[in-house]
Structure 1
Amino acid sequence: MFRALASVLLCCFFLEASFWVHFSYGDLTTCSGIVPMTERGDKISITDFGGVGDGQTLNTIAFRKAIYRIQHLRRRGGTLLFVPSGVYLTDSFNLTSHMTLYLARGAVIKATQDTSNWPLIAPLPSYGRGRERPGGRYMSFIHGDGLEDVVITGENGTIDGQGDIWWNMWRQRTLQFTRPSLVEFVNSRGIVISNVIFRNSPFWNIHPVYCSDVVIRYVTILAPPDSPNTDGIDPDSSSNVCIEDSFISTGDDLVAVKSGWDEYGIAYGRPSSYITVRRVTGSTPFAGVAVGSETSGGVENVLAENINLYDSGVGVHIKTNIGRGGVIKNITVSELFMENVRTGIKVAGDTGDHPDNNFNSNALPYVKDLTLKNIWGVNVQRAGWMHGIENATFTGICLSNVTLQGTTGPRPPSWNCNAIRGAAIEVSPRPCAELTSVEQSGSCAS
Structure 2
Amino acid sequence: MFSRSTPCSFAPLSVCLTLLTAHAFAQDTRHVEEPKIPASCVQLSAKLQAVKDKVAEADEHKLDTERIQKALDSCKPGMAVELKQMGGNNAFLTGPLDLRSGVTLLIDEGVTLYGSRDAAVYDMVAKPGEEPMTPGLCGTIPKVEPAVFPAPPRAATARGGCRPLLSAVNVKDAAVMGDGVIDGRGYAKLLGKDYSWWEMARKAEPKNEKYYSTRLVVASHADGLILYRITLHNSPNFHVSVGGTNGFTAWGVHLLTPTDRTLDARNTDGIDPGTSTNVTVAHSWIDNGDDNIAVKSGTTHMSVLDNHFYTGHGMSIGSETVGQAYLLVDGLTEDHTSSGIRIKSNVTRGGSVHDLTYRNICMRGVANPIAISPYYTNQTTEGFVDPKYTGDKIPDYKGIVLKDVWSLTPGDVLIAGLNADHMTGIKLDNVIVRDIQPTQVHTAFDMMSFGAGGTNIPFTAEGLVKSKPDAMQPDACKGGFPPMQ
Q: Which bracket does the TM-score occupy, shorter chain normalised?
A: 0.7 to 0.9
Q: CA deviation at 1:375?
A: 0.7
Q: Mark the CA change 1:427 to 1:419 in structure 2 (over 3 Å): closer, same or farther.
A: same
Report whether the alignment pairs 1:337 with 2:366: no
1-side partners of 2:377 and 2:97: how far apart?
Answer: 31
Q: Mark the CA change 1:282 to 1:336 in structure 2 (over 3 Å): closer, same or farther.
A: same
Report whether the alignment pairs 1:159 with 2:182: yes
Partner of 2:422: 393
Report whether the alignment pairs 1:68 with 2:73: yes
Q: What is the correspondence of 1:131-210 to structure 2 with a 5 Å cutoff?
A: 135-154=159-178, 156-164=179-187, 165-173=196-204, 177-210=211-244
Q: CA deviation at 1:284?
A: 2.2
Structure 2 length-normalised TM: 0.73
SS across alignment from 1:78: coil
2-side partners of 1:29 and 1:316: how far apart?
Answer: 18
SS across alignment from 1:341: coil
- Equivalenced residues, count: 396
Question: Cα deviation per residue 1:316-361 (whole Å; 9 max; x = unaligned)?
Answer: 10111102243100011110000111111001102155xxxxx981
Partner of 1:34: 32
- AA aligned to 2:102 is H
Identity of aligned residues (%): 23
**8 Å contact from structure 1 (residues 238, 273) kept in 2:** yes
Q: CA deviation at 1:420?
A: 1.9
**8 Å contact from structure 2 (residues 406, 431) kept in 1:** yes
**8 Å contact from structure 1 (residues 133, 177) kept in 2:** no
SS across alignment from 1:274: strand
Greater strand share, structure number: 1
**8 Å contact from structure 1 (residues 405, 412) kept in 2:** no
**8 Å contact from structure 2 (residues 186, 236) kept in 1:** yes
Q: 365, 372, 387: which one pairs with 2:402?
A: 372
**8 Å contact from structure 1 (residues 196, 219) kept in 2:** yes
- AA aligned to 1:416 is H
2-side partners of 1:12 and 1:413: how far apart?
Answer: 44
**8 Å contact from structure 1 (residues 300, 330) kept in 2:** yes
**8 Å contact from structure 2 (residues 2, 10) kept in 1:** no
Question: Cα deviation per residue 1:195-252 (whole Å; 9 max; x = unaligned)?
Answer: 1110001111111111111110111000137311111111111100011001111011
Q: 257, 261, 274: which one pairs with 2:301?
A: 274
**8 Å contact from structure 1 (residues 217, 244) kept in 2:** yes
2-side partners of 1:310 and 1:368: how far apart?
Answer: 27
Q: CA deviation at 1:91?
A: 0.9
SS across alignment from 2:394: coil
Question: Cα deviation per residue 1:62-110 (whole Å; 9 max; x = unaligned)?
Answer: 122212323xxxx3x4331000031101112111111011111111100
1-side partners of 2:462 and 2:154: how far apart?
Answer: 38
Q: 461, 471, 480: which one pairs with 1:433?
A: 461
Q: What is the correspondence of 1:207-246 to structure 2 with a 5 Å cutoff?
A: 207-224=241-258, 226-246=264-284
- AA aligned to 1:13 is P
1-side partners of 2:338 and 2:156: how far apart?
Answer: 22
- Could you list the runs of 5+ residues in structure 2 that have no partner in the other structure? 50-54, 127-132, 134-150, 188-195, 379-388, 467-485
1-side partners of 2:82 and 2:155: how far apart?
Answer: 34
Q: Mark the CA change 1:379 to 1:37 in structure 2 (over 3 Å): closer, same or farther.
A: closer
SS across alignment from 2:275: coil
**8 Å contact from structure 1 (residues 306, 335) kept in 2:** yes
**8 Å contact from structure 2 (residues 104, 174) kept in 1:** yes
2-side partners of 1:194 and 1:432: how far apart?
Answer: 46
Q: What is the correspondence of 1:231-310 to structure 2 with a 5 Å cutoff?
A: 231-259=269-297, 271-286=298-313, 288-296=314-322, 298-310=323-335
- AA aligned to 1:338 is M
Partner of 1:120: 124
Q: 59, 65, 70: which one pairs with 2:64?
A: 59
Question: Cα deviation per residue 1:345-402 (whole Å; 9 max; x = unaligned)?
Answer: 001102155xxxxx981221221011111011112222x1122212542332111101
2-side partners of 1:121 and 1:36: how far apart?
Answer: 37
2-side partners of 1:186 and 1:283: how far apart?
Answer: 28
TM-align CA RMSD: 3.6
Partner of 2:145: none
- AA aligned to 1:99 is V
- AA aligned to 1:170 is A
Structure 1 length-normalised TM: 0.79
- AA aligned to 1:283 is Y
**8 Å contact from structure 2 (residues 27, 327) kept in 1:** no
**8 Å contact from structure 1 (residues 389, 419) kept in 2:** yes
**8 Å contact from structure 2 (residues 438, 458) kept in 1:** no
